[in-house]
Chains A and B, each alone.
Chain A
Amino acid sequence: MPRLNSPTELEKLREEIKARRPPRPCISISSGTCGRARGSEAVITAFEEEIKKRGLKEEIDIKVTGCLGFCEKEPIILVHPDEICYLNAKPEDAAEIIQGIKDKKVVSRLLYTDPVTGEKIEHESEIPFYKRQLRIVLSLNKWIDPRNIEDYIIQGGYSALSKALFEMSSEQVLEEVKEANLRGRGGGGFPAGRKWKETKNAPGEPKYVIVNCDEGDPGAYMDRSLMEGNPHSVLEGLIIGAYAIGAHEGFIYVRQEYPLACENLNWAIKQAEEYGFLGENILGSGFNFRVKVHRGAGAFVSGESSALMSAVEGKAGEPRFKYIHTAVSGVKGRPSNLNNVETWATVPLIINKGADWFRSIGTEGSKGTKIFSLVGKVNNTGLVEVPMGMTLRQVIYDIGGGILKGKKFKAVQTGGPSGGVIPEQYLDTPVDFDELTKLGSMMGSGGMVVMDEDTCMVDVARYFVNFLCEESCGKCIPCREGLRLLRVILNDVCQGKGKEGDIEVIEEVAEVMAAASLCALGTTAANPVLSTLRYFRDEYEAHIKEKRCPAKFCKDLTSFYIQPEKCQACLICLRNCPAGAINGDKGLVHWIAQEKCSKCGICFEVCPPRFSAVVKLSGEPIPEPPPPGTKVIRKKEG
């Protein structure tokens, strides 16, 4: 493939690809990391074999795409052009689906079923999960095979780069991004255009542009999906940014835990170089730009921008002073502009459609859309892209389909380990950088973890503190020692060893961490604790004063008990108990020997729902076991 040397050649290629691809049905199969985890590779093989068997290679195409966002329904099959959407596909479905395409019929059993009306929905865009989203950054994932640059090109890919290089000066490109008011999508929410300008104006050469794909917030995987599914969108944004800033070298830092993203990115870079979008004299514009991939090696803290730059220098990912911005002095002391994956992927859209268009979406302070990973105790888990300003309630209920198993909503956690929990009374808060910060949380990179009545808020704080304690680089005292102490205190509280005064110590240490830590990991480390204290102080007090866990989650404060009047002696819990702690027999009520119980929760999990004999007790005395030989009280079934 000879390198493209002008915008005209690019457009010619686009037309040529279109001509080469006759309109015919195309089956796209989602196969990102989550799709593969649910067996997509076997599904792909099944489809390939079925098509071969029927001699349909010239009639039906197969396209392997990245993640489509509706993760629990993966692998997802989309039949183009009608976008018939089949969920949870299995290898054995291949024959029926292909037959359906030939007969122009739909395979009803594989369609989305509305949980309330039972209605079947054929088209992807009408499925409630997708209907209310505004997928502009993620829009192309379903159309492209990330390992085929021509899929990206045929969708208009690299037209923004062409426009930037040939129709706009570097200043104009920068102004457009500044006007759009694009705020960083990695957590900081800092205006990207302002950072670009500072880097551009900083003295010194060379300048660097950097992609931060060290997505480490547990529960967040937006960047993985973008990098796996549409790496060219990130590359295109990066090259445009490099042009605007005057950088000729870039780094893409991908966390080691994302091997598929790394692979697909490397493919994309190779193909972009072949086609002339990277390297010397891009598209014949005279602009040169090269990019290097750096893999992370398992350190959450190296996602902090100054730590990332240390890692790019081959050093330990420890943060540094940022009183002098990295835009002025970053990698090897040179001006370096770092942005998140999603931020970069938004840039081509802004160049193509303009700042005005971008500003027409979102709120006053937060423009555009944001991708969230909606996870936890919610029915429809997955990646959702919504306009800023949509409320939390709309995201969780209209798109997310409400709480799993009909339980009661308790809180939604946003912003990862730097964020906080937002309780029910604030569900109508619009998703917006500043609104979420006002509530004691933050937008963060987009993790949105839904929690229900069974979630212990003290445990949530303990969980995040524990996470950060392991991930802290350990350089500065307030963070390292502050987290060490908070971890001990929270573990104690969850184990029933909390003391009067613990809450006050937590608050005192949190103040010092927030004020004096070296980097944002430390200064925000106490947010989960402070936030859960702000809205759920009663849970802390119950743990400390009453040795009770209101959510009945904390193992040391919770006991399992089989209600004799409900037990139907089915023997299931008895057989499954790994500790041999359950006594009983056929026809005889089962009971748990508390001293043997390991609190694993299996009995609670396996007791048939129609009996629901096992209950969790906390902060109350456990009734004595029933007298030996107590017979079961038979319930009439039905």
Chain B
Amino acid sequence: MTGVSGLVAKVVDSYQRDKDMLIQILLDLQSGFGWLPKQVLDEVSKHLGVPITRVYQIATFYKAFSLAPKGKHLIRVCMGTACQVRGSALIRDRMEQLLGIKVGEITSDMKFSLETVNCLGCCAMGPMAEIDGIAHGPLTISKVEEILKKYE
């Protein structure tokens, strides 16, 4: 068994090959690999015994899964209502402007991926963004550049 095949088998087996746990399996693999390469999805279909169509359907239905590699630093701008009311759209626009990419894209040097998320649950601190899992807020348009500079 190749490395990838072995790793996938290990995760699938940890859930007793229970088909109901397909989403949990993919979450673990997404976390481990940072994204879901084609080979991983094929191996899941094989080891778990579910059609490849179903594996891809799950991988493309849910936002947590990425079928393409992500940037070194993952930025998630919260677009929840409370943040929206406090100007999160302007924060997102500023990020796009500074990074030269649109939401959902990755900078050409692979340093940053920019995403939006519909509510991180820190509504009192809006507008908020999470970078590499660390929450930043309340943000102002002027603060954005300063914060991005901290990430190399």
CB-CB under 8 A from A72, the residues of chain B are 124-125
Are the CB atoms of A312 and B125 closer together than 8 Å? Answer: no
Q: Does the CB pair A256–B124 fall under 8 Å?
A: no
Could you tell me if B81 and A311 are in contact, using CB atoms closer than 8 angstroms? no
Within the complex, which residue of A314, A463, A471, A601 is in contact with B141, where a contact is CB–CB below 8 Å? A601
How far is the CB of A308 from the nearest CB of chain B, in Å?
A: 11
User: Which residue of the partner chain, among B54, B63, B82, contacts A219 with CB atoms under 8 Å?
Assistant: B82
A477: interface (CB < 8 Å): no
- Residues on B with beta carbons closer than 8 Å to the beta carbon of A300: 118
Q: Write the B83-113 contact mask toward A (1 if CB under 8 angstroms, else 0).
A: 1111100100110010000000000000000
Residues of B within 8 A of A605 (CB): 140-142
A114 to B23, CA, bound (A): 49
Complex: A312 Cα to B18 Cα, angstroms: 11
Q: Mark A20-54, 1 if CB is under 8 A from B, else 0.
A: 00000000000001101110000000000000000
Contact in complex: B20, A314 (CB < 8 Å): yes
On chain A, which size bracket covers the interface?
A: 35 or more
Q: How far is the CA of A601 from the CA of B139 in the complex (A)?
A: 14
Q: Does B121 have its Cβ within 8 Å of any Cβ on chain A?
A: yes
Q: Does B46 contact A (CB under 8 A)?
A: no
- Contact: A297 with B90, CB < 8 Å? no
Pick the contact of A576: B21, B64, B142 (CB < 8 A). B142
Which residues of B sit under 8 angstroms from A467, Cβ to Cβ? 79, 118
Contact with B along A450-473 (1 / 0, CB 8 A): 010001000000011001001101
| Interface: A199 (CB within 8 A) | no
Task: Give chain A interface residues in 201-219, CB to chain B under 8 Å.
Answer: 215-219
Q: How large is the interface on B (under 10, 10 to 19, 20 to 34, 35 or more residues)?
A: 35 or more
**Cα separation A312 to B19 with both chains bound (whole Å):** 10
Whether the Cβ atoms of B82 and A375 lie closer than 8 Å is: yes
Query: Is B120 at the interface (CB under 8 A from chain A)?
Result: yes
Q: B41 to nearest A CB, angstroms?
A: 14
Tell me how far the C-beta of B64 lies from the nearest C-beta in chain A, rounded to whole angstroms: 4
B63 touches A297 (CB 8 A): yes
How many residue pairs bridge A and B at CB < 8 Å? 152
Whether the Cβ atoms of A257 and B81 lie closer than 8 Å is no
Find chain A residues with CB under 8 A from B117 CB. 257
Are A219 and B123 closer than 8 Å at their CB atoms?
A: yes
Q: CB-defined interface of A582-608 with B at 8 Å, one 1/0 digit per residue?
A: 000000000000000010111001100
A472 to chain B, nearest CB (A): 12
Q: Which residues of the other chain, B, contact A215 by a CB distance below 8 angstroms?
A: 121
Chain A residues lying within 8 Å of B148, measured Cβ to Cβ, are: none
Does B58 lie at the interface of the complex (its beta carbon under 8 Å from any beta carbon of A)?
Answer: yes
Q: Nearest residue in A to B87 (C-beta to C-beta)? A: A601
Q: Which of B65, B94, B123, B125 contacts A600 (CB 8 A)?
A: B94
Docked pose: A315 CA to B23 CA in angstroms: 8
- Surface stretch bound by B, among A91-99, A146-154, A376-384: A376-384
Q: Flag whether B135 is at the interface (Cβ < 8 A).
A: yes
In the complex the two chains form, is B90's CB within 8 Å of A601's CB? yes
Asked if A77 is at the interface of the complex by the 8 Å CB criterion, the answer is no
B119 touches A219 (CB 8 A): yes
Q: Give residues 391-423 of A contacting B (CB, 8 Å).
A: 413, 416
Tell me whether B124 and A218 are in contact (CB under 8 A). Answer: no
Contacts of B97 in A (CB 8 A): 578, 598, 600
Instruction: Say how far A255's CB is from chain B's closest CB, in angstroms.
Output: 9
> B24, B84, B119, B141 — which one has the most chain A CB atoms within 10 A of its CB?
B119
In the bound complex, what is the Cα–Cα distance between A91 and B57 (angstroms)? 47
User: Most chain-A Cβ atoms within 10 A of its Cβ — which of B50, B117, B124?
Assistant: B124
A600–B82 CB distance below 8 A: no
> Most A CB atoms within 10 A — which of B27, B81, B134?
B81
A373 interface contact, C-beta 8 A: yes
Known: A221-B121, A375-B82. 4 other contacts (CB 8 A): A217-B81, A217-B119, A297-B65, A314-B24
Q: Which 5 A-B pairs have the closest CB atoms?
A: A71-B124, A298-B63, A218-B80, A37-B135, A297-B62
